[in-house]
Amino acid sequence: MKSILFRDLGTASYGPCWDLQETYFQESLTRKSDNRKLPEQEQIPTVDRLLFVEHPHVYTLGKSGNLENLLANEEQLKAIQAEFYPINRGGDITYHGPGQLVGYPILDLDHYFTDIHRYLRTLEEVIILVLAEYGLHAERSPGETGVWLDVGTPFARKICALGVRASRWVTMHGWAFNVNTDLRYFEYIIPCGITDKSVTSLDRELKRAVSMDEVKEKVKRHFEAQFGAVLVPDPTDSLTLANG
């Protein structure tokens, strides 16, 4: 069974986490490039990783996103203590903040399946299965990436956003699952550029606070099952990042 190195970064600022992802991402790309020059028996496998993190308030805009979907100016962002980053994932604008479980898989899909559409649907399935354990029927919205509730009704709302980057079947970026998230921060953007649907969180749906540790364990278990892999502690877990 394939092993994936797991690391929980706790609460960490967006910039250092992005840098860390890029480091792991480039390591895998370099390893794949070097392996092509070697006999098969001398090739060194790429390392798969999964990072968990909660970010301080930050808005990120995907490479195909529209800056007009950020409704706050520089002064307003300062007033609400939020950062802004244009980044290199797919998708439009989204929010990250405390109480939101962000997952960054840096995977070599050559170890699993070389299909980005299937990869996104697999990440969605992880969250859908977690929500089912809380008695919530979540699903996909046709033509819209992410995990939703009450799809096809006037009450459709997103509970988990997804946005990824991939090169030579190596992935980075990932999902943002609203657990105990302050949804007021979504009022400063048009989330994912979608104007006719709202956002929600697990605590809003359940009408109670939810243990983040409990959610993390459920996500880890379903992630392992969906990818047919086992998460093992990353030996570099003692390294620290800048906290927000």
Catalytic residues: 192
48 within 8 A of 24, measured Cβ to Cβ:
no
Read off φ and ψ for residue 187, nearest 5 degrees: -70, -15
Give residue for tokens 């790309």: 29
Give 177's strand partners.
Answer: 101, 160
Tokens of 88: 């290199």
Give, for 119, the enclosing helix (H) or strand (E): helix 116-133
CA dihedral angle for residue 115, residue 178, residue 215, residue 86, rounded to 10 degrees: 50
Instruction: Pinpoint the alpha helices (H) of 48-103.
Output: 74-79
Closest to 185 measured CA to CA, from 63, 81, 92: 81
Label residue 173 exposed, middle or buried (CB < 10 Å: 0-12, 13-18, 19+). Answer: buried
Beta strand segments in 28-82, E: 49-54, 58-61
The residues pairing with 149 across neighbouring beta strands, listed in sequence order, are 138, 157
Sequence-distant (≥ 6) Cβ neighbours of residue 227 within 8 angstroms: 2, 4, 107, 112, 122
